Amino acid sequence: MTTNSVTAAAEPCAAEQTQAARIGEVLFRNRGWIPVPFLAVPLLVPGVQAPETWLIGLLMVAIGEFIRLAGVAAAGTVTRRRSRNVQRLVDYGAFAWCRNPLYVGNWMVWLGFTVVSGVLWFLPVAALIFAIEYHYIVRYEEGVLESIFGAEYLAYKERTPRWFPRPPSTPSSGPHAWGEAVWSERSTVLQYVALIAAFVLKERYFT
pLDDT in tens, 123-150: 999 999 889 999 999 999 999 999 989 9
pLDDT for res 30: 83
- Select from 1.20.120, 1.10.3470, 2.10.260, 3.30.70 the CATH code of 14-50+59-205: 1.20.120
Which residues, 6 or more positions from 169, have their beta carbon under 8 angstroms from its beta carbon? Answer: 159
On whether the CB atoms of residues 105 and 65 are closer than 8 A, the answer is yes
pLDDT for res 34: 75
Domain ranges of the chain: 14-50+59-205
Confidence band of 107 (pLDDT split at 50, 70, 90): very high
Q: Is 163 helix (H, G, I), strand (E, B) or coil?
A: coil
pLDDT in tens, 8-65: 457 888 888 899 889 998 988 887 777 777 788 999 999 999 999 999 999 999 999 9
- Residue 120 phi/psi, 5-degree rounding, is -70, -25
pLDDT at 6 over 50: no
pLDDT for res 78: 63
Tell me what the mean pLDDT of segment 105-112 comes to. 94
DSSP state of 160: S
Alpha-carbon gap, residue 137 to 11, rounded angstroms: 19
Q: In this predicted model, which residue has the larger pLDDT, 207 or 131?
A: 131
Long-range contact list for 199-204, CB < 8 A, 24+ apart? Answer: 199/42, 199/43, 199/49, 199/113, 199/116, 199/117, 202/43, 202/49, 202/117, 203/49
> Residues for the chain: how many in total?
207
